[in-house]
């Protein structure tokens, strides 16, 4: 709750907080940026980061910026692809190590990323997700190349175990000379500032958003003779599936008309299957398996209550989607979740089976007595809270601010690394930074910049896709779509 | 339309390939429906042949100096001769020609330094379009010109892509010129 009050105390959204600085700096408000979003996670992989990057890019394109996305190749999807409105995606052939994240050697990605940055005339590199090695690599190379950098952190992290300690060190090194950092909630900001030992002034909070038109309520899909609890999440430890396994038998025993609808896939599925087996709940607990994004709404609208049992969460998109579909939301009080929805739309519980059961029973009782708000009114409230246009506007302000800043030259970057990141890691990465710089000089000698063809802009001020963009409200012109297809799926690697 | 004028495209503009080496583009317009584009790269330079030969022989002589085995020297001679023949016969392409004949088809041929020519003809009803595409090639992202082939089962689909000027790899300005010329002919049939 403390965070929420703090948010209320600052009248302008965090992106605006530096508006006074913006007016001092001689900034042209109409300045357009050439932005490259880099992350290991992008479509066809599915998840919060992926949709964040996609939606944010679309809104920035709408505002007239040029946006390209760089990610690693997914299976046969490599090369250059175009998405809606000329959003260009580079699927670079980099080796995937673990969990869709590339390996980081600090060097091997430089030639390709330099090629992308140079030919697209990128001015600003925006990396996403601290789990993505490619994002860190891109930040590192962008700073070597003298480009401005922004980083968005999408997740919370611990401090205690070995992997956290290592990742946090890497994050410290990676973020110590990054121009600006964006977090998705105040809890996430607090976490990131502590993990990476950052100056809180260069960290902004810009929440995620949902597309409210994708998640509209449809009460006719509900079965009125029963109460359905919907859970949509990956079935992994972090999402508290063990808690869910504890809740299901208790509640099903007490309420014979209670049904569970569980969407998602993961290693913890076995827990739920065991529970279902043990208590003979096959008809009342349905496991739907992995859901495609377009199917999520179809599942959500069938329920009365949305349950989220996450143990850690920077900003929970799922509960916003649930509320947007008009469901009563019950969630654990962890991470950034208390900031996400106003109190009348969410029931918060402690992350224990008992507390969650109590919370759910309260909501079930209210649902039975009919004293809950109608799905339409919940949707109306939620759809004004988080929109991508708002996110893009605030991100744009971050970009405007960053574009005016200088990128540390190599000597000062080395000083910063050694003084800021501790003796051992600092010196090590200062050495790596020097090597990276030498490698860049070598590449500039081997493949000079002037021999690289500048890419045609599909988006941005001189974007060739503009014709299609202008009549995006109507149907897009057939020729534009055909062109899209033509350029799209047939990229080959020579 | 400059029908009848055989050499419309002897350009003042200089073209280079993606490595910065000079190449020349020659456009011949045989008729309104028939154009020929020839991209020529630099010939095998005697200097480079000498450098490679000397390198092989010097290293062979060094090995001979220590081992005193004359087979090394004869080996070196064979390696240089075979290497040079393989290079001019299979690797080094002097000219690449694209002959577009409206309503008939496209002929793609490349002539190697030895004089060997390999020619390929694609009928017009198999061709969907000629486009400039982007690809990742050896740690770089480059533009290339390619022919899209129709998928026989699906008239809207593309079954495969034939890259053009694969060994000369001209830069974008050269590709655009060829592309525009090709599109003029394709638009007419």
Instruction: Say whether both B82 and B115 belong to one domain.
Output: no
Domain A30-209+389-455 fold is Rossmann fold (3.40.50)
Average pLDDT over residues B97-106: 91
Average pLDDT over residues B139-154: 91
Of the candidates B172, B148, B33, B174, which has an alpha carbon nearest to the alpha carbon of residue B96? B174
Residue B2 is assigned to a structural domain of this protein:
no
Residue B3 is assigned to a structural domain of this protein:
no
Of the candidates A374, A311, A308, which has an alpha carbon nearest to the alpha carbon of residue A158? A311
| B23 at interface of A, judged by CB pairs closer than 8 A | no
Of the candidates A301, A455, A287, which has an alpha carbon nearest to the alpha carbon of residue A378? A301
Nearest CA in chain A to B165: A494
Residue A163's CB is within 10 A of a number of other CB atoms, namely 9
Of the candidates B108, B118, B112, which has an alpha carbon nearest to the alpha carbon of residue B93? B112
Same CATH topology for A30-209+389-455 and A212-385? yes
- ipTM field: 0.83
DSSP string computed for A117-154: HHHTT--EEEEE-TT-HHHHHHHHHHHHTT-EEEEEE-
Terminal CA-CA length for chain B? 15
Residue B1 is assigned to a structural domain of this protein:
no
Residue B150 is assigned to a structural domain of this protein:
yes
Instruction: Say whether both B82 and B59 belong to one domain.
Output: yes
Terminal CA-CA length for chain A? 56
Higher pLDDT, A292 or A56: A56
Structure tokens at B42: 């630099």
> pLDDT of A431-456, one tens digit each?
999 999 999 999 999 999 998 899 98
Domain A212-385 fold is Rossmann fold (3.40.50)
Average pLDDT over residues A213-240: 88
Catalogue the long-range contacts made by B123-131 (C-beta closer than 8 Å, 24 or more residues apart).
B124/B189, B125/B150, B126/B150, B127/B186, B128/B158, B129/A486, B129/B186, B130/B100, B130/B106, B130/B164, B130/B179, B130/B182, B130/B183, B130/B186, B131/A486, B131/A487, B131/B179
Which residues fall within 8 angstroms of residue B110, CB to CB, at 6 or more apart? B93, B95, B96, B97, B117, B118, B167
pLDDT of residue A55: 92
CA dihedral (A389, A390, A392, A398) in degrees, to 10, reads 160
Residue B5 is assigned to a structural domain of this protein:
no
pLDDT of residue A125: 95
Measured distance CA(A70)–CA(A80) in Å, rounded: 9
Residue with tokens 């802009």: A457
**Element (DSSP H or E) covering residue A98:** strand A96-98
| Three-class HEC string of chain B | CCCCCCCCCCCCCCEEECCCCEEEEEEEEEECCEEEEEEEECCCCHHHHHHHHHHHHHHHHHHHHHHCCHHHHHHHHHHHHHHHHHHHHHHCEEEEEEEEECCCEEEEEEEECCCCEEEEEEEHHHEEEEEEEEEEECCEEEEEEEEEEECCCCCCCEEEEEECCCCCCECHHHHHHHHHHHHHHHHHC
**Rg, chain A, Cα only:** 24
Inter-residue contact A87 to A459 (CB < 8 Å):
yes
Instruction: Say whether both B63 and B26 belong to one domain.
Output: no
Instruction: Say whether both B111 and B28 belong to one domain.
Output: yes
pLDDT of residue A212: 80
Residue A442's CB is within 10 A of a number of other CB atoms, namely 12
pLDDT of residue A101: 75
Residue A383, pLDDT > 80, answer yes
Average pLDDT over residues B128-154: 91
Nearest to A116 among B19, B133, B141 (CB): B141
- Tell me the residue length of chain A: 494
Higher pLDDT, A292 or A106: A292
Q: Residues of A at the B interface (Cβ-Cβ below 8 Å)?
A: 78-80, 90, 92-93, 111-112, 115-116, 119, 447-448, 451-453, 455, 485-487, 489-494
Instruction: Say whether both B101 and B83 belong to one domain.
Output: no
Q: Domain extents for chain A?
A: 30-209+389-455, 212-385
Average pLDDT over residues A25-53: 80
Of the candidates A444, A450, A416, which has an alpha carbon nearest to the alpha carbon of residue A145? A444
Structure tokens at A339: 């900031």
Instruction: Say whether both B67 and B121 belong to one domain.
Output: no
Instruction: Say whether both B29 and B57 belong to one domain.
Output: no
Residue B7 is assigned to a structural domain of this protein:
no
DSSP assignment, residue A201? G
Nearest CA in chain B to A445: B19
Measured distance CA(B163)–CA(B142) in Å, rounded: 12
Residue A313, pLDDT > 70, answer yes
Of the candidates A139, A156, A153, A1, which has an alpha carbon nearest to the alpha carbon of residue A70? A139
pLDDT of residue B98: 94
Of the candidates B6, B12, B84, B10, which has an alpha carbon nearest to the alpha carbon of residue B49? B84
Mutation site, B15, B141, B151, interface A, largest A CB count within 10 A:
B141
Instruction: Say whether both B32 and B63 belong to one domain.
Output: no
Measured distance CA(A320)–CA(A209) in Å, rounded: 8
Inter-residue contact B139 to B149 (CB < 8 Å):
no
Nearest to B140 among A80, A115, A486 (CB): A115
Instruction: Say whether both B151 and B96 belong to one domain.
Output: yes
Residue B126 is assigned to a structural domain of this protein:
yes
Higher pLDDT, A48 or A115: A115
Q: Which residues pair with B21 in a beta bridge?
A: none
Measured distance CA(B3)–CA(B9) in Å, rounded: 12
Check CB contact under 8 Å for A119 and B136: no
Instruction: Say whether both B151 and B117 belong to one domain.
Output: yes
Distance from CA of A433 to the nearest CA of B (A): 20
Structure tokens at A374: 């109608």
pLDDT of residue A25: 43
Which residues fall within 8 angstroms of residue A305, CB to CB, at 6 or more apart? A227, A228, A229, A230, A327, A328, A329, A330, A360, A363, A364, A367
Nearest CA in chain B to A452: B18
For the domain that residue B100 is a member of, what is the CATH number? Answer: 2.30.29
Residue A222, pLDDT > 80, answer yes
pLDDT of residue A29: 53
Q: Domain range holding B81? A: 46-90
Average pLDDT over residues A124-152: 92
pLDDT of residue A197: 87
Q: State what percent of residues in chain B have pLDDT above 70.
A: 94
Inter-residue contact B167 to B110 (CB < 8 Å):
yes
Of the candidates A85, A78, A81, which has an alpha carbon nearest to the alpha carbon of residue A57? A85
Task: From residue B157, give the alpha-carbon distance in Å to each of A385, A489, B26, B82, B187.
Answer: 43, 10, 33, 44, 19
Q: Mean pLDDT check: name the lowest of A43-47, A133-137, A196-200.
A: A43-47
Task: From residue B11, give the alpha-carbon distance in Å to each of B14, B26, B182.
Answer: 7, 8, 17
Residues in A closer than 8 angstroms to B19, CB to CB, are 447, 451
Q: What is the mean pLDDT of chain A?
A: 84
Residues in A closer than 8 angstroms to B161, CB to CB, are 490, 492
The number of distinct structural domains making up chain B is 2
Inter-residue contact A49 to A129 (CB < 8 Å):
yes
**Rg, chain B, Cα only:** 21
Check CB contact under 8 Å for A92 and B163: no
Check CB contact under 8 Å for A79 and B134: yes
Inter-residue contact A332 to A351 (CB < 8 Å):
yes
Residues in A closer than 8 angstroms to B144, CB to CB, are 494
Instruction: Say whether both B26 and B40 belong to one domain.
Output: yes
pLDDT of residue A467: 55
Q: Mean pLDDT check: name the lowest of A20-29, B31-40, B104-113.
A: A20-29
Q: Mean pLDDT check: name the lowest of A18-32, A361-375, B127-141.
A: A18-32
């Amino acid at each position: 709750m403390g965070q929420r009050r703090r948010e209320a105390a600052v009248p302008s959204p965090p992106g605006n907080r530096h508006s006074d600085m913006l007016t001092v700096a001689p900034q042209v408000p109409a300045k357009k940026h050439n932005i490259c979003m880099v992350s290991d996670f992008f479509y066809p992989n599915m998840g919060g980061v992926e949709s964040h990057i996609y939606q944010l890019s679309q809104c920035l394109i709408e505002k007239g910026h040029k946006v390209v996305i760089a990610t690693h190749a997914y299976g046969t999807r490599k090369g250059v692809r175009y998405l809606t409105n000329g959003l260009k995606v580079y699927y670079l052939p980099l080796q995937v190590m673990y969990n869709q994240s590339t390996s980081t050697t600090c060097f091997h990605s430089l030639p390709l990323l330099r090629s992308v940055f140079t030919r697209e005339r990128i001015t600003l590199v925006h990396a996403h997700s601290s789990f993505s090695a490619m994002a860190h690599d891109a930040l590192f190379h962008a700073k070597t190349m003298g480009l401005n950098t922004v980083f968005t952190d999408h997740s919370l992290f611990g401090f205690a175990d070995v992997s956290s300690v290592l990742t946090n060190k890497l994050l410290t090194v990676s973020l110590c000379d990054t121009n600006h950092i964006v977090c998705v909630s105040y809890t996430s900001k607090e976490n990131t500032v502590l993990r990476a030992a950052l100056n809180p002034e260069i960290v902004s909070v810009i929440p995620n958003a949902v597309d409210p038109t994708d998640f509209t309520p449809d009460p006719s899909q509900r079965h009125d003779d029963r109460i359905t609890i919907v859970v949509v999440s990956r079935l992994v430890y972090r999402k508290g599936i063990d808690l869910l396994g504890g809740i299901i038998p208790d509640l099903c025993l007490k309420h014979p008309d209670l049904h569970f609808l569980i969407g998602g896939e993961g290693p913890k599925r076995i827990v739920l299957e065991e529970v279902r087996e043990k208590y003979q709940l096959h008809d009342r607990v349905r496991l739907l398996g992995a859901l495609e994004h377009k199917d999520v709404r179809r599942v959500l609208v069938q329920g009365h209550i949305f349950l989220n049992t996450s143990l850690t969460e920077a900003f929970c998109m799922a509960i916003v989607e649930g509320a947007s579909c008009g469901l009563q939301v019950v969630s654990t009080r962890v991470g950034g979740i208390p900031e996400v929805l106003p109190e009348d739309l969410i029931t918060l519980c402690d992350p224990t089976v008992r507390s969650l059961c109590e919370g759910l029973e309260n909501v079930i009782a209210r649902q039975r007595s009919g004293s809950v708000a109608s799905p339409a009114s919940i949707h109306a409230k939620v759809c004004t809270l988080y929109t991508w246009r708002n996110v893009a506007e605030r991100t744009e302000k971050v970009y405007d601010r960053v574009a005016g800043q200088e990128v540390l030259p190599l000597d000062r970057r080395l000083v910063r690394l050694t003084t800021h990141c501790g003796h051992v890691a600092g010196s090590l990465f200062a050495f790596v930074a020097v090597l990276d710089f030498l490698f860049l000089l070598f590449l500039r000698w081997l493949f000079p910049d002037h021999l690289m063809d500048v890419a045609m802009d599909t988006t941005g001020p001189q974007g060739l896709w503009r014709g299609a963009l202008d009549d995006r409200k109507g149907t897009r012109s057939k020729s534009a779509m055909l062109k899209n297809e033509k350029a799209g799926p047939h990229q080959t690697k020579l | 339309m400059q029908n009848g004028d055989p050499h419309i495209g002897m350009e003042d503009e200089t073209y280079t390939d993606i490595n910065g080496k000079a190449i020349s583009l020659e456009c011949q317009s045989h008729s309104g429906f028939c154009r020929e584009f020839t991209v020529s790269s630099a010939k095998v330079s005697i200097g480079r042949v000498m450098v490679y030969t000397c390198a092989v022989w010097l290293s062979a002589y060094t090995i001979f100096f220590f081992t005193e085995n004359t087979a090394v020297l004869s080996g070196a001679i064979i390696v240089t001769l075979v290497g040079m023949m393989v290079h001019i016969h299979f690797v080094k392409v002097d000219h690449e020609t694209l002959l577009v004949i409206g309503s008939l088809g496209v002929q793609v041929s490349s002539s190697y330094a030895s004089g060997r020519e390999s020619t390929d003809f694609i009928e017009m009803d198999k061709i969907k379009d000629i486009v400039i595409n982007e690809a990742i090639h050896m740690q770089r992202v480059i533009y290339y010109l390619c022919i899209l082939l129709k998928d026989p089962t699906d008239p809207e689909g593309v079954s495969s892509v034939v890259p053009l000027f694969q060994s000369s790899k001209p830069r974008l300005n050269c590709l655009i010129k060829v592309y525009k010329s090709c599109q003029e002919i394709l638009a007419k049939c």
